[in-house]
Structure 1
Amino acid sequence: MDRRDYLGQSMMQAAVLPARAAYLIRTGSRTGFRRAVQEASTRWGGMTEPILAVPDDGEIPDELRETVAAAKVEAAVNVDVDDALAQRAADALGLPYVRIAKIDHVGAARFTCHPLHVNPPVQPSTLPVVAVDGAPLWQVAAAGFLSEDQAEELRPTVLAVRPGLPDEYGRNQMYGATHLQSTIAQFGEYRSNAIGSLPAVVWVTDPDDIEDCIAFWNSRALRPVSHAGMPMLLLPTGEVQHWLGLAQQLAGMLARPAEFSPDVMLLSRNVPQEHLHEIAEILELQRTDAEVKISEKFPTPGLRQPAFTYRTGLDPRSWLLRDREYGLSTSFDVHVFAGDTSTLRFTSPVHFHTQGSWALVRLWGSPLDGLPRRDCVALLVEANAQWRRDSIQLRTRAQNDCIFGLTVPTLAQATEAVLGQASARHALSDKGKLGVALQTQADIAALLEPGVYEAVIALTTPRSKELLRELRKIKAEGTDDAAQLVELASTWGGRAERRYRPITKLELPPQRASEAAERLCELGWAERGVETNCAQCGVRTFHPFEQTQRRPVCPGCSSPSRYETTADGLSVFYRLDSFVDRASDQGLLPHLLVIAALTKKEPNSYFLPGIDLWFTDQTHGEADVFGLYGGRVLSGEVKTSASQFTNEQLTHDIALSTRLGVDIHLLAAVDTVPQTIREQTAKLCSDAGLDLLVLDKSELRRS
């Protein structure tokens, strides 16, 4: 029998997809564009790989940054840009860098395969067209580009291609009969917030206009793949008027459910508006100035009917820059072992027809919930793993029957990994050691129950700090008469014993005080007992119930004594466990109270109640609470009183959280945090790029 820490059977999901790239070319480089398209035409998913024209100053425009972010590519591939400039561009985009000559051998972009490996082993009825040497740029962008040798190598395969007549490069886009469209076989999105159906895009370009061809290519690269909700077509100027029957073929493509208007967005970067309207007339489209209308829900919409409408001057990017995750997915069950290897087995949702190629696999599901999305944690799962949003991504050989041995780290292990990355050295603080020990003894969530925290504080044995505070208070009040000082001395003098009190001294309503005291006993944090007050020596002593005698004796002078009583009978006193008493005296209880509240909000969390930190520059720091809050890293400070959060304290705390690289800064106080402190902290956190979480009396001490 397996004796590892078995957590049970869970459902997970996996997606299989290619590693895709963004190609960097010189601005205006037609040769670079052809080479980039040629590479994309030989890669699974190549039609969705963007091409970026890098400006001479190396500054990446926002439009290109947005394109790369939406495309979710794995690497930047330099086609013909100066190396230093290309490296700078890749760094600005946050992508690994590789030269195109090495794309198949090194780097993140190589984990893919040729489209031949994923296309169905059935010859199409009509051979797809592809652009070859000498073809104008618009044909290259519309159908893909292969050298004559590459096209010849595909002739005996299911991806056999042919050069086409000029009009075929336009018409075949509507039928999926271009080589480029074969690159998206068995490829799609497993998660997307794309709108279902949108107007078709007819992009018009001069035959060799590099700017329009790149703009069309990148728009099509962001088009949803899993459903044909936004047809796209690239057409050249000066030719379409000679293509017989083109308007009728376009009408067949536009006869779609009436879920939007207009029917067509007629677009171009450089073709004049009057020429666009002339082409629209050739395509038998009717101009409209009505606002674009998009709706995702129609009861049973009929088909759009001629005359089909169009508008110019629109920007489709607002619909194309939608969030998505690429890949085909499947679900499977897995037996999970905490902190140890769990074996994952599933059938790939992508069927590979040949072996030896590469692919990416993404895994997600409840066993990974709560883990921070940090690469140091991904490496605990698998030596070469990376996070991709909420998924663990693996680089692997393409296989139809997938078997992986992965470690699901505990939240404690993940916390250690994050701390190890953020600091040169770390250890539990004195409070942290006490807190961890106390957490293992009982459920600290009890501190959130009405009266429990207050009862612990009331039963905590006074120590020197409290004595000093009382002396200062008496001095400030100017009432330091002998009687008052004698009373104080009798309370504090020579206190080796823990404080014990009846419920009437817990400063709570009677019923709540009784319930809170009994709850502490139930937790093992307190004990019940009785008191003797020796008439001979004047020593008051607490006697736990299990140590009571029929005839009590004073432990000080051994004189016969008696247990204290009231009119209702024997007086019952409560005393904290010595360990809990010490923890409370050290100021640990607010830390545990806050951790209990955080865990109640996000059960899949883990926290350390105090850590000391040392950094590489020999500086030192201390955090009251550090840990994982629903998969995000959190650190912060806890105070009994919000008045302790001075400007200096806040600046110091947030600087430490920033240095630790956390996601959330915590500010917590047992009493009420004023609005001024909240606003000040929020401003500091915003400047530091941190989210802020504030906890105070309203959440910690609810009635």
Structure 2
Amino acid sequence: MDRRDYLGQSMMQAAVLPARAAYLVRVGSDTGFRRAVQEASTRWGGMTEPILAIPENGEIPDELRQTVATAKVEAVVNVDVDDALAQRAAAALNLTCIPITQIDQAGAAMFTCHPLHVNPPVQPSTLPVVAVEGAPLWQVAAAGLLSEDQADELRHTALAVRSGLPDEYGRTQLYGATHLQSTIAQFGEHRSNAFGSLPAAVWITAPDDVEDCLAFWNARALRPASRAGMPMLLLPTGQVQHWLGLAQQLTGMLSRPAEFAPDVMLLSRNVPQEQLHEIAKVLELQHTEEEVRAGTEFPTPALRQAPFTYRTDLDPRQWLLREREYGLSTSFDVHVFAGDASTLRFTSPVHFHTQGSWALIRAWGSPFDGLPRRNCVATLVEKAAEWRGDSIQLRSHAQNEYIFSITVPTLAQAAEAVLAVASARHTLSDKGKLGVALQAQADIAALLEPGVYEAVIALTTPRSKELLKELRKIKAEGSDDFAQLVELASMWGGRAERRYRPTTKLELPPKRASEAAERLCALGWAERGVETNCVQCGVRTFHPFEQTQRRPVCPGCSAPSHYETTADGLSVFYRLDSFVDRASDQGLLPHLLVIAALTEREPNSYFLPGVNLWFADQTRGEADVFGLYGGRVLSGEVKTSASQFTTEQLTHDIALSARLGVDIHLLAAVDTVLRATREQAAKLCSDAGLELLVLDKSELRRS
């Protein structure tokens, strides 16, 4: 039997997909667009790879940023943009850039295969069409582009292709008989919030208009690959009126359940509106101002009927810019060992017909819950792994059976990795050392229970700081009452013993005081006992129950003594464990109280109750709480009194959190945090790009 730290059997999922790229071309570049399409035509998933026209000033328009973010490509490939400009554009998109000549040899984009490897090894009855060199640009965008040599290499394979007559490049789009369609075999989304049924997008372009062809290409690249919710078609001006029967063929694409309206979005960047309406007549479409409607209905309604309607004022991007996760997925079981090797074994949901190609694997499931989505943590799972959303991404040869050995790091290991990246050096602070030890002794969640925290504070042995505070209080009151000073001196003078008290001195309602004191004993944080008050030497002494005697003796002068009693019998006193007493005196309890509250909110969490930090520029810092909060990194400050959160303190604390690169800044106090403090902290966090989490009395103390 394996004696490693076995966490049990868990269900996981994995997706197999190609590494996809975005191509950088110069604005208006016909040759750049053709070269990008030619490359995409030889890559698995190529139809979904966007092409980005980069302006001469290098500024990335929001539309392109949104396209890249939605497409979730792995890299950008420079086709014909100035190298320095391409590198700047890639940096702005947070992606690596490689020249197109190296796309199959280097960088993240190489982890894919030719469409031949994923298509069924049976030739279709009708060969798909593909554009040839010198073809009009609209045919290239619609069907893909191959050189003569590339087409010849496919002649006796399942991907044999042909060039077609002009109208065939339009008609074959209606039933997916283009070469580009073959690039998305065994490719799709395993998760998407895309709409259901949507109007068809019919794009009209001049035969060689780069802008319109590129806009169509990118719109189609973002269309969900796993569902035909938005049919798309690219048609040229000046030709469709000569294609006999096109309107009747279009009916097959438009005869869909009546779950949406209108039937068609007639789109173009540069074709005049008048010309769009003329083409609509050729296609036997009827103009409408009908309100846009989209979705899925149950039960499925009847099919829409001719005349089919169209509008020319709609933008499909509102439906295309939807969140999705790419790849075909499968589920499997895994035996998980904490911080040690675990084996992932599953059959690929993608069937590869030839060997020697590459693919990406994304794995996710409960073993990764609580881990921060940082690549320094991903490399603990597997040396070359990266996070993609909530999935660990691995690069692999394309196989039909996968076996991976990974390590599921503990949350402590993950927190250590994050700290190692964020700082030059770090250690537990004095409070942190005490806190870690105390957390190992008992469940600190007990501090959240009514009265427990207050009981600890009431039983904590006073130290010199508290004595000074009491003396200042007497001075401020203008009192020099001798009896008061004597009482204070008797409490503090020569104090060597830990404080002990009956429940009546815990400043809690009687029942709650008793319950809280007993809870501390159950935790091992306190002990019960009795008191002797020696008549001869005046020394009061706590005697734990297990050390009581039939005839008590004063430990100071050895004189016979007696245990204190009340009218109800023997007086019971409580005293903190020496370690807990020291931790409380050091101000650690508020830290642990906050950690208990955070962990209750997010059980998959891990925190250090105090960290000293050193940075590369020789500066230092200290975080009261640092850790992982439900998969996000958190750091912040804890105070007993919220009045200590001055502007200077807030500025310092939030600057430290920003420097650590955390996701959440914590501001916590045992008493009430005022609205003004919250608002000031929120503004500072917003400026620093941090989320603010405030905990105070309302969350930490329960009545």
Q: Same fold by TM (over 0.5)? A: yes
**1:197 — aligned with what?**
197
**1:674 — aligned with what?**
674
Gaps of 5+ in 1: none
Tell me the number of residue pairs that the alignment of Structure 1 and Structure 2 aligns: 703
**1:242 — aligned with what?**
242
Distance in 2, Cα, partners of 1:535 & 1:206: 110
**1:307 — aligned with what?**
307
Would you say the 8 A contact 1:363–1:393 is kept in 2?
yes
**2:85 — aligned with what?**
85
Distance in 1, Cα, partners of 2:246 & 2:616: 69
Give a deviation string over 1:212-232, Cα, whole Å, max 9, x none. Answer: 000000000000110100000
* Aligned-partner residue type, residue 588 of structure 1: L
Structure 1 position 485, deviation (Å): 1.3
**1:415 lines up with 2:415 in the alignment:** yes
Structure 1 position 685, deviation (Å): 0.5
Structure 1 position 398, deviation (Å): 0.4
Distance in 2, Cα, partners of 1:89 & 1:546: 75
Give a deviation string over 1:567-602, Cα, whole Å, max 9, x none. Answer: 000000000000000000000000000000000000
Distance in 2, Cα, partners of 1:597 & 1:379: 30
Structure 1 position 46, deviation (Å): 0.1
Secondary structure, counterpart of 1:529 in structure 2: strand
Would you say the 8 A contact 2:553–2:559 is kept in 1?
yes
Distance in 2, Cα, partners of 1:326 & 1:196: 18
**2:648 — aligned with what?**
648
Distance in 1, Cα, partners of 2:185 & 2:213: 23
Give a deviation string over 1:469-497, Cα, whole Å, max 9, x none. Answer: 01111111111232221111111000000
Structure 1 position 294, deviation (Å): 1.5
Secondary structure, counterpart of 1:557 in structure 2: coil
Q: TM-score, normalised by structure 2?
A: 1.00
Secondary structure, counterpart of 1:672 in structure 2: coil
Give a deviation string over 1:173-209, Cα, whole Å, max 9, x none. Answer: 0111000000000000011000011000000000000
Would you say the 8 A contact 2:531–2:540 is kept in 1?
yes
Structure 1 position 122, deviation (Å): 1.3
Instruction: State the Cα RMSD in Å.
Output: 0.5
Give a deviation string over 1:329-358, Cα, whole Å, max 9, x none. Answer: 000000000000100100000000001100
Would you say the 8 A contact 1:117–1:353 is kept in 2?
yes
**1:695 — aligned with what?**
695
Would you say the 8 A contact 1:259–1:298 is kept in 2?
no
Would you say the 8 A contact 2:196–2:294 is kept in 1?
no
Quote the sequence identity (%): 85
Distance in 1, Cα, partners of 2:639 & 2:23: 53
* Aligned-partner residue type, residue 363 of structure 1: A
Structure 1 position 93, deviation (Å): 0.8
**1:570 — aligned with what?**
570
Structure 1 position 296, deviation (Å): 2.7
Distance in 1, Cα, partners of 2:294 & 2:26: 37
**1:281 — aligned with what?**
281
**1:213 — aligned with what?**
213
Give a deviation string over 1:663-683, Cα, whole Å, max 9, x none. Answer: 000000001111111111111
Give a deviation string over 1:612-632, Cα, whole Å, max 9, x none. Answer: 000000001000000000000
**1:139 lines up with 2:136 in the alignment:** no
**1:390 — aligned with what?**
390
Distance in 1, Cα, partners of 2:117 & 2:475: 87
**2:261 — aligned with what?**
261
Gaps of 5+ in 2: none
Distance in 1, Cα, partners of 2:137 & 2:16: 32
Distance in 2, Cα, partners of 1:237 & 1:85: 34
Distance in 1, Cα, partners of 2:425 & 2:544: 44
Q: TM-score, normalised by structure 1?
A: 1.00
Distance in 1, Cα, partners of 2:295 & 2:427: 56
Would you say the 8 A contact 2:460–2:499 is kept in 1?
yes
Secondary structure, counterpart of 1:535 in structure 2: coil
Would you say the 8 A contact 1:450–1:701 is kept in 2?
yes
**1:451 — aligned with what?**
451
**2:471 — aligned with what?**
471
Structure 1 position 313, deviation (Å): 1.8
Secondary structure, counterpart of 1:294 in structure 2: coil
**1:292 lines up with 2:292 in the alignment:** yes
* Aligned-partner residue type, residue 238 of structure 1: G
**1:231 lines up with 2:231 in the alignment:** yes
Distance in 1, Cα, partners of 2:337 & 2:266: 56
**2:531 — aligned with what?**
531
Distance in 1, Cα, partners of 2:649 & 2:565: 49
**2:41 — aligned with what?**
41
Matches within 5 A, 1:35-114: 35-114=35-114
Secondary structure, counterpart of 1:184 in structure 2: coil
Matches within 5 A, 1:297-336: 297-336=297-336
Give a deviation string over 1:503-537, Cα, whole Å, max 9, x none. Answer: 00000000000000000000000000000000000
* Aligned-partner residue type, residue 649 of structure 1: Q
Would you say the 8 A contact 1:527–1:575 is kept in 2?
yes
Distance in 2, Cα, partners of 1:225 & 1:432: 51
Give a deviation string over 1:35-58, Cα, whole Å, max 9, x none. Answer: 000000000000000000100111
